[in-house]
Structures are given as C-alpha cells and as structure tokens.
Amino acid sequence: MDDIFLNYPAEPERLVRPHLSPRQCGWLSVRRIISLRES
C-alpha cells in the first residue's frame, strides 16, 4: 500500500505545501483525486 503513495506524483501538492514531505503530498493528491471521482 505504501508503495502507491511513495511512487505517486506529488508535484502539485508540493508546490502548494512545500513544508510537507513527498509522501504526505502524495497522500493528499490521492485523497483529492478520490474526492473528485466521487463528486
């Protein structure tokens, strides 16, 4: 499971939140995409 977040492109979140780690940014990106699909 962790490999998904580690390999996920997190550039947009990193630009918005440069203080977060790439792994945290990847998780936020996944959460955002999931919420967009549900709406």
- Residue 18: the pLDDT is 62
Per-residue pLDDT of the chain (39 residues), as tens digits, is: 455 555 556 556 555 666 667 777 677 778 888 888 887
Burial zone of 25 (CB within 10 Å; 0-12 exposed, 13-18 middle, 19+ buried): buried
pLDDT of res. 6? 54
Residue 10 contacts residue 26 (beta carbons within 8 Å): yes
pLDDT of residue 8: 55
Distance CA 26, CA 38 (A): 19
Hunting for tokens 């995409």 — which residue is that? Answer: 33
Structure tokens at 20: 């977060």
| Per-residue pLDDT at 36 | 82
| H, E, C per residue of 10-25 | CHHHHHHCCCCCHHHH
